[in-house]
Structure 1
Amino acid sequence: MNSLLSFYLRRIVSDGNLLITDGDGETHRFGDGAGDPVHIHIKSRAAERAIAVNPALKFGESYMNGAVDMVEGTIYDALALIFSNAGNEASAQPWMRAIERMRLTWRRFVQHNTPKRARRNVQHHYDLSAELYDLFLDIDRQYSCAYFESPGDDLDQAQLAKKRHVAAKLNFDRPGLKTLDIGCGWGGLGLYLGRHLSADVTGITLSDEQHQLASRRAMKERLGDRVRFRIEDYRKTEGPFDRIVSVGMFEHVGRDYYDEFFQHADRLLDKNGVMLLHTIGRYGAPANTNAFISRYIFPGGYLPALSEIMEPVQRSGLILTDVEVLRLHYAKTLEAWRERFAERRNEAKSLYDERFCRMWEFYLAASEAAFRWQDCVVFQLQFAKRVDALPITRSYMSDAEERLRQLDGSDPARTLARRECCEAAE
């Protein structure tokens, strides 16, 4: 086995039962032997060298391209064993620090998310086949962190609870509030706000697929008079709006565009308005996006530390009025997505190919592991332009959630009706 890779693994993996068969056919064991074996086959010396020098990129790339196979266990089992042992130790290795410094220098180019590049980056991921997302998302196609109110909640229940939770924080205290949904996805949240809170919603996206489906859904539900969707960059949107919400979009803005994002939010928000930003972030210090995810899944993406968000907010004129950190909710969401994708893997392969399936498996598994054992979390940040724009205690949020619970079809019969409506819209 490559000596650097062997050194790295013996330093990192102290617990568990990791076996690696190398390019020469020899098998090596790492860890204390406890638990079920996780057995990886690295098929060539070239793959060993690549992984040793740049594991953050090349392990996933090698698995995707078939240069790494699982003999026992799954790719998630392998990543879980490595991540749970390593934590953030991997990035502390001298050669990894050097690679990350180079990537940090290059970041300004990679995240140069001009309107044209931002649209291309979104299309890279979100304009994949509509059938692909149906394989693993919930019935409403929520492609962001769910909110698990109780341990027994399934994915559909948790995604419904997320919409309820977000809506409650926006404090819809009267019907007809003009609402902007930045990065509206397939329209689920905007339709929820229009349906249950009589909000006047404008949803914007850069994805053709998302725009088409969201618009069809609005027509199907006869909500077109108060919920509309369009392809538009937030930098071109005209306001003002009483409410602004953005779920799972800020990760695509790019570090150098944070000032611009919050300045536009301040411009678009009415003087008495409220904004809710839901974004993946880091509870630790700023760090680069995982190299594999950045190259193959979300080009131009970046997960900010809270400190990186707050400086541009302070320069924008917006006031931070509430912060919530969702810790393991995204790990549970990704677990559900990963299991659903595995159950319907053959259908994904018929849409694309084996290489795509391996890429997607690695993406879901690595993301889940990062939320379980590294510093990834989800921030829900509430903003206003006036310090007295919201009640001074948080009780209005729980009161609103309880009211919405009576309206949003939490019972199985109405959930089934929503499923039928979504399928008919498609």
Structure 2
Amino acid sequence: MPNYKKLLSHAFDFPVTVKYWDGKSETYGEGTPKAEIDINKELSMTEIAKHATLTLGEAYMDGDIDIKGSIQQVVASAYRSTTSFMHDKSFLKFVPKQGHSEKENTKDIQSHYDIGNDFYKLWLDPTLTYSCAYFEHDDDTLEQAQLNKIHHILNKLKPNRGKTLLDIGSGWGTLLYIAAEEYGLHATGVTLSQEQYDYTKDQIKKRGLEDLVDVQLEDYRKIKVQYDYITSVGMFEHVGKDNLPGYFKKVNELLKPNAHALIHGITGQHNGPGVEPWLTKYIFPGGYIPSVSKNLDYMIEANLQIEDLEPLRRHYQKTLEIWDHNFNDVRDQVREMFDERFCRMWDLYLQAAAASFESGNIDVMQFLLTKSPSGEGLPMTREYMYEEK
């Protein structure tokens, strides 16, 4: 198995024991192994060479590979190792163009978010917030950190009561409810997920917010009304590479003069492909993670002024670690809903994503944007973002 040895001998930056399908084992790296990788079935080196993460990810889902120890630590180690297969870009020729029609966008979003509200309720916090939390204190619960995040976003906008807000990709609606109940805003959400739309409509009625909150099952590109404020959390990762310039131009178009937007999303640290084949096949079809610099280019091209930029990488790592802990606490229930292959897939996704943030491979950014060079309505310094409300 010389090819496997060549592949694995430099794949990690800490010692790992590999057990092969024929009963042989070998430890790569010096010192006490921190993980064991069991290869239960011989895998095609040709397929690994073509698209390593896709082949290995599918092998883990199928039980052809097992990992004893932390998947997150193993993946983070592979990302840190500069000679790892995780840095092999040979799969790029297999990556499709990243443009999305409205029909494709709807299909991609529903394939992930319409798995079922009952599934997400099992392991998300009670607010059903499915994006990076914001841990103001070490002992913040996940629910508190998600509420912190929403307040942090709205506080950055410094909104005036009675004004209008559009949330592009509004999820299960918690930002909308808080914007209305605590900030006195007329809030509109837009989503392509039928499950999220139905849940939000029900919550609006239960909370008595019919006069302040609305949600639309619609592609954001069809919205025509301008707003005083726009928020968009975890959305631009879904629009596709070719649609990113248009996404930011649409944000500009939907903002009133001198209005502000807070755009929150995952970015790449390098100008790499922005596409991870396993992730786009099984978790986020059509997904694309732009680099920070590309996003800034698109914003400037859309005539948006950048007022503030804040990285939250470590916050997302912690969020994912809590999600994965919650997920594994209810794994038996998830298995009854789906099957073991689905459980392995989702566990791998959550831990690999946490590893990507831990290793600095990706980040999550909050961009505060305005149409006005004067920054009208915003203080000169950042202290206002942290004032008690």
Structure-2-length-normalised TM-score? 0.95
Contact persistence 1:87–1:373 (CA under 8 A) = no
Change (3 A) 1:208 1:32: same
Q: Hey, what does 1:228 align to over in structure 2?
A: 214
Contact persistence 1:22–1:48 (CA under 8 A) = no
Q: Hey, what does 1:112 align to over in structure 2?
A: 99
Aligned-partner Cα distance in 2 for 1:225–1:271: 25
Change (3 A) 1:161 1:309: same
Q: Hey, what does 1:7 align to over in structure 2?
A: 6
Q: Hey, what does 1:76 align to over in structure 2?
A: 72
Contact persistence 2:306–2:368 (CA under 8 A) = yes
The letter of the residue matching 1:356 is: F
Q: Hey, what does 2:26 align to over in structure 1?
A: 28
- Select the residue among 258, 262, 284 that pairs with 1:276: 262
Residue 365 (structure 1) aligned with residue 363 (structure 2): no
Residue 99 (structure 1) aligned with residue 91 (structure 2): yes
Aligned-partner Cα distance in 1 for 2:219–2:6: 48
The letter of the residue matching 1:62 is: A
Aligned-partner Cα distance in 1 for 2:54–2:19: 20
Contact persistence 2:78–2:84 (CA under 8 A) = no
Structure-1-length-normalised TM-score? 0.87
**Deviation of residue 312 (structure 1)?**
2.1
Aligned residues: 387
**Deviation of residue 67 (structure 1)?**
1.1
Change (3 A) 1:75 1:207: same
Contact persistence 1:180–1:241 (CA under 8 A) = yes
Residue 140 (structure 1) aligned with residue 112 (structure 2): no
Contact persistence 1:88–1:374 (CA under 8 A) = no
Aligned-partner Cα distance in 2 for 1:351–1:14: 37
Q: Hey, what does 2:380 align to over in structure 1?
A: 392
The alignment partner of 1:45 has SS state of coil
Q: Hey, what does 1:90 align to over in structure 2?
A: 85
**Deviation of residue 4 (structure 1)?**
2.4
The letter of the residue matching 2:72 is: Y
Q: Hey, what does 2:143 align to over in structure 1?
A: 156
Structure 1: gaps spanning 5 or more residues: 404-426
The letter of the residue matching 2:380 is: I
Aligned-partner Cα distance in 2 for 1:115–1:168: 32
Residue 297 (structure 1) aligned with residue 283 (structure 2): yes
Contact persistence 1:23–1:48 (CA under 8 A) = no
Q: Hey, what does 1:176 align to over in structure 2?
A: 162
Structure 2: gaps spanning 5 or more residues: none
Q: Hey, what does 1:416 align to over in structure 2?
A: none
The alignment partner of 1:12 has SS state of coil
Change (3 A) 1:48 1:78: farther
Q: CA RMSD in A?
A: 1.8
> What does the per-residue CA deviation read over 1:116-165, in whole Å, with 9 as the maximum and x for residues that have no partner?
10000000000002111112111101100011112222211111110110
- Select the residue among 37, 42, 59 that pairs with 1:40: 37
Change (3 A) 1:127 1:90: same
Contact persistence 2:180–2:213 (CA under 8 A) = yes
**Deviation of residue 184 (structure 1)?**
0.1
Identity %: 35
The letter of the residue matching 2:5 is: S
**Deviation of residue 14 (structure 1)?**
4.4
Aligned-partner Cα distance in 1 for 2:83–2:194: 38
Contact persistence 1:146–1:159 (CA under 8 A) = yes
